Amino acid sequence: MAVFTGAGVAIVTPFKENGEVDYEKFADLIEFQIEGGTDAIIVCGTTGESSTLTHEEHLDVIRYCIERVAGRIPVVAGTGSNCTETAIYLSTEAQKAGADALLLVSPYYNKATQNGLYRHYKAIAESVKIPCILYNVPSRTGCNIAPETVVRLCTDVENIVGVKEAGGNISQIARLMNLAGGKVDLYSGNDDQIVPLLSLGGKGVISVLSNVAPRQTHDICARFFAGDMAGSCAEQLRAIPLCSALFCEVNPIPVKKALNLMGKIGGTLRMPLTEMEPENAARLEKAMKDYGILE
């Protein structure tokens, strides 16, 4: 059984002006997501600025999210690292905290061979008992998880259950699902490709868009699964300009700006991320108004 089906939000981590995690605003964002019909919360991923959290902060944010959600929807904890031992430490602690599953980004900077990726992921998954979702995002990591490696891991390791695919290569994803034999739960990692990946057998999306449009992102998936392909596709296409604006600067700069514009308070960014350039902020604001989530 899939960890979740539908739209999971890759939730932001709000920071105060002094740089501390703003747990009061984080609680508000969690409630906004649950009220909006989000099917799962993915905490401490790329959008959550996990790369600038200390290990203590990282685990505190995961623990807080799990406690606040209180079992209402699944919580998937981002615990990947380019150091296998660090990933094992974060993963085991997240399991202790009650995470429903883990999201494990591929090793970045040092990268790895396909055999190295296999051994890395196998070691992490075998250190825990909860489901693990691989995360392929080569534009950030410089490391592509080949379809054969994904299938091998999902076949050989019982609790490696699927992959978040953010590579954008539809041909590679089609090959993956051709090889998968029903063993790989596929999640889109790109908001502009939700319907294409669902059509290839995907279970849903791990979404940036859902931070600002939880109901609409949920509905793209729900309509598809209900057999309303035309409605799902229409909602996907309507979101394309907003998706583009949300990625006109590196994520999560635009989505935090969008939340602030909505009064939801995404908070500040941690260096080296900086505030959005004025011309891009204007483009984002227009896209939000056109989409109907900002007056």
Q: Is residue 287 part of a domain?
A: no
Q: b/e string for 12-38 if b means 16 or more Cβ within 10 A?
A: bbbbeeeeebbbebbeebbebbbebbb
How many structural domains are present in the chain? 1
Considering 135, 187, 203, 256, which one is annotated as catalytic?
135
Q: Is the peptide bond before 278 cis (omega within 30 degrees of 0)?
A: no
Is residue 277 included in any domain, yes or no?
no
What is the mean pLDDT of the segment spanning 130-148?
A: 97
Q: Is 257 a catalytic residue?
A: no
Residue 267 has what pLDDT? 80
d(CA 94, CA 102) in angstroms, rounded, equals: 8
**274 within domain boundaries:** no
Averaged pLDDT of the chain: 97
pLDDT (mean) for 192-200: 98
Based on the residue annotation, tell me whether 135 is a catalytic residue of this protein: yes
d(CA 186, CA 202): 5
Residues 80-88: what's their mean pLDDT? 98
Mean pLDDT of 209-213: 98
pLDDT higher than threshold 90 for residue 265: no
In a domain, 210, yes or no: yes
Cα–Cα distance list, 59 to 4, 90, 105 (Å): 22, 7, 16
Q: Tell me the whole-structure pTM to 2 decimals.
A: 0.97
| Domain assignment present for 234 | no
For residue 18, the domain's CATH number is 3.20.20.70
pLDDT at 283 exceeding the cut of 90: yes
Q: Which among 118, 121, 164, 203 is annotated as catalytic?
A: 164
Residue 101 φ/ψ, nearest 5 degrees: -165, 170
263 pLDDT above the threshold of 80: yes
Please tell me the number of Cα atoms within 13 Å of 125 on its side-chain side: 23
Q: Provide the residue range defining the domain that includes 53.
A: 6-229
At residue 266, the pLDDT reads: 72
pLDDT digits (tens, 9 = 90+) for 153-192: 999 999 999 999 999 999 999 999 999 999 999 999 999 9
Q: How much is the pLDDT for 285?
A: 98
Taking the C-alpha atoms of residue 120 and residue 115, their distance in angstroms, rounded to an integer, is 9
- On whether residue 71 sits in a domain, the answer given is yes
- Cβ partners under 8 Å of residue 176, min gap 6: 147, 150, 151, 163, 165, 184, 186
